[in-house]
A and B are shown apart, each in its own frame.
Chain A
Amino acid sequence: MLKDIGKTLIGLWSLIIGLKITGKEFFKPWLTVHYPRQEVKNLNTYRGHIELTGQETDPWKPKCVMCGKCAEICPSGCIHIEFHIAGEDDSSQTEKILIGVGVEIPFSGKKFVPAAKIERELDIFNLNYNLCSLCGLCVQNCPVDAIKFSKDVYLAGRSRQDFEYDLLARLKGQG
């Protein structure tokens, strides 16, 4: 009998301790942010969809050497690259080489070396963000650091096409 009363009292005391903590927290400052008026501080570490980087001399020209390593390693096949050999008519469809998953591009050793000295020009660098799983393998695998992560946190769209990015146009349209 006495044991039961003691047990109940200890139990009730545990509830009071709990209430004390909640009471203390009640008077502490807010920990959440009011989103449209405020933002969290660490958006700069967010790793969004990929973006092309420009050359140092000409920021509107992509660093990309069109080796296709990014498209090859991508687990979901969301990168699509097309290019043509410089100096030749880029409207001729036969000259265009399509690089997809599984197509071998000649390179020797660790560093990428273009087969002979052929100047290439990038025509299309498309990203289908609908399929992307943000693993970052393409960025890590790029031999010339031509891809970077964007800091685009607030993405919203009305259709699937809104997330099919033309990265070349984005590079040319920046700044």
Chain B
Amino acid sequence: MKPNESKFELNGDYYSTRFEPSGSETGDTLILNMGPQHPSTHGVLRIIVELDGEYIKKAEPVLGYIHRMHEKMGEVKTYMQYLPNMGRVDYLHALAWNWAYVGAVEKLTGIEVPQRAEYIRVITCELNRICSHLLWWGAYLLDLGAFTPILYAFVDREKIMDILQIVTGSRLTYCYYRFGGVSADITDEFINQTKEFLTYFKTRIPMYHDLVTGNMILRGRCEDIGVLSVETAKQYGATGPVLRGSGIAYDVRKVEPYSVYDKFDFKIPVGQNGDAMDRYDVRVAEMTESLKIIEQALESLPDGHYINPNLPDRIMPPKGEVYYAVEGARGKIGIYIISDGTAKPYRLKLRAPGFSNLHLFAELSQGTLLSDAVSILGSLDLVIPEIDR
């Protein structure tokens, strides 16, 4: 047999060979696949777990089922042509990826962004963040066995998508930001609907708390489950609400403010214990903070151009490299571009926060019940297309 020819395994594939049933002392463990098709994994994530009774002895995520070569695609497309890809990396917070990419190219090329465009970006990106957290909220509770909350979450999510549809024209995979601004100006309809939504959503958050947060069943499923220590979080490079749940107030919007985020007054919610409940609390509190940001941005929305009128015909950044990071709903999104002075990037690296957060699962789920592992997996808020890229 040739060295690189894969061998057909009757008892599983290459990844499962690392799980030897005979390797355990007693030999009565069960090796189980969670996914790629499983109701508790969001998308095509596969986790191999070794179970002793109902307890997890070892877990290992297997990636690559939805790998689409986004990084390689960046090398064969021009800077402009790569824009629509960004809406498809993380489809739940597409605008943050849009922003990370245009931000990186703007920084490298030295394109100025008008103030109005920056404010529009803040408003739309925060709306998108609420949208993403709402879906997580609904889906997480669905994982835990509560069906109703996702319907409430979708009612509000629809409203946000309607608002974003006015300016972007699409509902999920947005391609709205452009180098030097955004593709369309916001309209009065957009502003009015956003203001309406702000007042409406403020009444919804207390309802969410009454419906779910105080619920004894949820507390039983979340409290002291998947406790993530600060050291572990740092080792794995966790960011976003997962890290903040462990008590570190690390948010790119605050620690290295990009765009106009330093002009807004908002708090970074943090947890204390680092369990699933803390991560839940952080995300729900973040929705309130996002509302505050949108409110302030709408109040101080400046006039002017929505896109830089003096853009070059072709985006040809000079030789060099650039790193640009923004805060997405799942954590720090980073884009690293190396340019060789041509119309196409020489190399493009996407730093997906979900990738780092997912690998915490192997650590957190050790020794827990299988049903608790589902709770842990949900609390990490994973979007598989972003992890696989």
Contact = CB atoms under 8 A, between A and B. Distances in A.
Interface of A: 10-12, 14-15, 17-18, 21-22, 25, 31, 42, 45-47, 73-75, 110, 133-137, 140, 149
Interface string B182-223: 010000000000000000000000010011101111010000
Chain A interface main SS type: helix
B83 interface: yes
A74 B81 contact: yes
Contacts of B134: none
Contact of A135 (B78, B162, B175, B210): B175
A17 B84 contact: no
Contacts of A25: 152
A45 B216 contact: no
B234 interface: no
B21 interface: no
Given A15-B216, A137-B84, A75 B155 contact: no
Interface stretch (B164-172, B297-305, B329-337): B164-172
B84 A75 contact: yes
Nearest to B73: A75
6 contacts: A11-B219, A73-B81, A133-B84, A133-B88, A136-B183, A137-B80
Contacts of A18: 210-212, 215
B296 to A, nearest CB: 26
Interface string B136-174: 000000000000100010010000001001101110010
A110 B80 contact: no
B83 A135 contact: yes
B157 to A, nearest CB: 12
B210 A47 contact: no
B81 A136 contact: no
A150 B87 CA distance: 21
B265 interface: no
Residue from B80, B82, B148, B155 with most neighbouring chain A CB atoms (10 Å): B80
B56 to A, nearest CB: 27
B216 A14 contact: yes
B231 interface: no
A11 B214 CA distance: 8
A42 B212 CA distance: 31
Contact of A110 (B207, B217, B313): B313
B210 to A, nearest CB: 5
B236 to A, nearest CB: 33
A127 to B, nearest CB: 16
Contacts of B81: 73-75, 137
A20 to B, nearest CB: 8
Contacts of A10: 216
Nearest to B154: A31
A46 B168 CA distance: 9
Contacts of B211: 17-18, 21-22
A140 B178 contact: yes
Contacts of B77: 75
Contacts of B178: 140
A134 B170 contact: yes
A46 B165 contact: yes
Interface in B74-92: 77-78, 80-85, 87-88
A47 B168 CA distance: 8
A31 B155 contact: yes
Given A21-B207, A135-B84, A136-B175, A12 B183 contact: no
Contacts of A110: 313
A45 B169 contact: yes
Nearest to B175: A135
A1 to B, nearest CB: 18
